[in-house]
Amino acid sequence: MRRLGDILVEQGVLTADEMEAAFSSKPRNIMLGDWLVEQKLLSTAELGHALAEQFEVPYVDIDPSNINPQIARLIPEDFARSRQAGAIDIKGHMMTLAMVAPDDIETIAEAELMTGYQIHPAVAMADDIVALVSRIYDDRSVARQTIVDMKMVELHEHSTEEIDPSNSVMVAEQEDAPVVRLVQAILSGAVNAGASDVHLEPLKPEMRVRYRVDGELQQVMTIPNHIEESVISRIKVMADMDTTENRRPQDGHLNVFDGGKRVGFRVSGIPTVDGQKIVLRLLDEGGKTFQLENIGLTERDYSMLREMIDKPHGMFVVTGPTGSGKSTTLYAALQFLNRVDRNIVTVEDPVEFRLPGINQVQSDNEFGMGFANALKFIMRQDPDVIMVGEIRDSETATTAIQAALTGHLLISTLHTNDAVGAVARLGDLGVDNFKIAGSLLGSVAQRLLRCVCENCKRAVPANEKLLNAIDPEGTVDRSAKFFKGEGCKKCLGSGFAGRIPIFEIMPITPEITVAIEAGVPNSKLHQLAVEAGMVELPRAGLEQALAGRTSIEEVYFKTSGDRRSSDAGQSSGSNKTNSGNIARRDTDVA
């Protein structure tokens, strides 16, 4: 076989001197052709034509959108990915197989055996084949095909026979029905996309399916309304919900197996004017970590948080809006406290993750097991540590404070904008200041910031307007570099991939205890907390932006406006309004 370098010189693409210089500077772990393209000495098309001459096969510049998915799927996904090969055309008994290594005889032989076609190899670029495979086996493409299949099934419904449950063959055939594959594609797609929630919304003229990925909702497909009822019914059957009840809210739970692992979904259904709306919360227990040192705490925050919860009694609360990672922090704290000599009991609504060695109770108001009542029963179970999923009413707050004052360690969550706001919130719920001062060990506020995509990140100058808003004191060098994602295939053009938490931890010092008991305004309490070492959320986010993990825009829109004049006299209703404004701004930016 002729050498690639000789071919390129003969074609006049490069001179002999240029080739020699490029070859001598090439790292050992990279192919010559890839190195030449990377150094911009060669275009992808020029490399492809040279490789075609080297291997004596055609070169194909693949456009995945023009490839028939039915042809491409004749090659199994695992085989296509591992062998870097994809079927792109069929003529008669001949299949064209695009390959990175078209001289791989073993791959060609296996493809012929599994497809029954005679393989005609062609050379293609690795990135093109990856793009082809990703598009062809994308769950959205599978879902679109199942919709077509369902329409075909409807044409033959009049001739179908009643399925006998004892007939295992017919039951298996039913399991292959298009609606089953469509639901499986939606659920598998959520797992593969790293989604936290799946929304199926009965709009007109089509049902909309959206995933929440990294805190942002993204539309992935639409489903025709005439198929909507079948999809909803299938999910209800899987979640053991009443398929005949469409007028009342329902909850359920289902499990699927994806890639050999078991993934759970919490299902919630409510009636809307256009039909049943279903939301599925992903509960991927295998992909979760609840080790305190692994949830994203800085060394400073880790030390402060450990000191707070490693106390025999008192109350520790985590605050923040829905979806800010409060549950993960609580579970990590429980795992840290989990020892054989401790009796740990939780009451949750719902129990999202099972923690070995911890007694977890499902809250249920219908059977007298709401948070407040359950807490009273738990107090009779000789607990050392109690976790209450959320303090949301006066009775729960009073009972929780009483538990903390009588020798138990109690941890819970509150809905407030910042760490200091936990004091005012407990006051709004009717707890006396001296009881708050005597029981509170500390409070934590947290947010989740989207991470800049590592594949397309680039350094950018600071947005001075936003930087001045976050850092009005000017402690950060205004010439510092920040980072932003340009948008690529890996991050689906968003510029972000993954999320990172930031924390604001208010310690309880003797001065703060006296201030709480005296009922000082939140502004004064906040000042004392900063003097005691509390790092505010905007500052914590700015540290992450300076480290290149997130963007300054993300920090601003996720943390700005959290703290205005929030004195103790401010009502919880005004806090909610402020939080709503932040959410709206965040949605607009996204």
pLDDT at 506: 95
Distance CA 131, CA 63 (A): 9
- At 457, which amino acid appears? K
Query: Coil, strand, or helix at residue 343?
Result: coil
- Each residue of 292-326: pLDDT tens digit? 888 888 899 999 999 999 899 999 999 988 888 89
Which backbone phi and psi does 236 adopt, to 5 degrees?
A: -65, -40
pTM of the entire predicted model: 0.64
Mean pLDDT (the chain) is 83
Query: Quick one: residue 357, left, alpha or beta (phi over 0 = left, psi -120 to 50 = alpha)?
Result: left
User: What is the band of 335 on the pLDDT scale with cuts at 50, 70, 90?
Assistant: very high
pLDDT at 172: 40
Q: In DSSP terms, which residues pair with 10 in a beta bridge?
A: none
Q: Which two tokens stand for residue 431?
A: 């707890």
584: pLDDT strictly greater than 50: no
Assess contact for 33 and 50: CB atoms under 8 A: yes
DSSP code of residue 275: E
Distance CA 522, CA 221 (A): 46
Which backbone phi and psi does 333 adopt, to 5 degrees?
A: -65, -40
Dihedral angle sign, alpha carbons of residues 190, 195, 199, 203: negative
Which secondary structure element, helix H or strand E, spans residue 424, and what is its range? helix 421-428
Q: 426: number of CA atoms within 13 Å, CB side?
A: 34
Of 3.40.50.1100, 3.40.50.720, 3.40.50.300, 3.50.20.10, the CATH number of 299-447+501-535 is: 3.40.50.300
Assess contact for 8 and 32: CB atoms under 8 A: no
As to burial, measured by CB atoms within 10 angstroms (0-12 exposed, 13-18 middle, 19+ buried), residue 152 is exposed
User: What is the band of 169 on the pLDDT scale with cuts at 50, 70, 90?
Assistant: very low
Q: Over the range 294-307, which residues count as b (16 or more CB within 10 Å of their CB) and which as e?
A: ebbbeeebbebbee
pLDDT at 512: 95
Q: 562: number of CA atoms within 13 Å, CB side?
A: 28
User: What is the band of 157 on the pLDDT scale with cuts at 50, 70, 90?
Assistant: low
Residue ranges per domain, the chain? 4-137, 178-283, 299-447+501-535
Distance CA 164, CA 492 (A): 45
CATH number of 178-283: 3.30.450.90
154: pLDDT strictly greater than 70: no
379-403 mean pLDDT? 92
Query: Coil, strand, or helix at residue 404?
Result: helix
- Cis bond upstream, residue 321 (ω within 30): no
Contacts of residue 584, defined as CB under 8 A and 6 or more positions apart, other chains included, come to none
- 4-13, 73-82, 175-184: the lowest-pLDDT one: 175-184
CATH class held by domain 4-137: alpha beta
Question: How many helices and strands in the chain, by DSSP H and E?
Answer: 24, 18
Assess contact for 126 and 44: CB atoms under 8 A: no
Assess contact for 214 and 497: CB atoms under 8 A: yes
Which backbone phi and psi does 145 adopt, to 5 degrees?
A: -70, -35
Q: Which two tokens stand for residue 444?
A: 């934590």
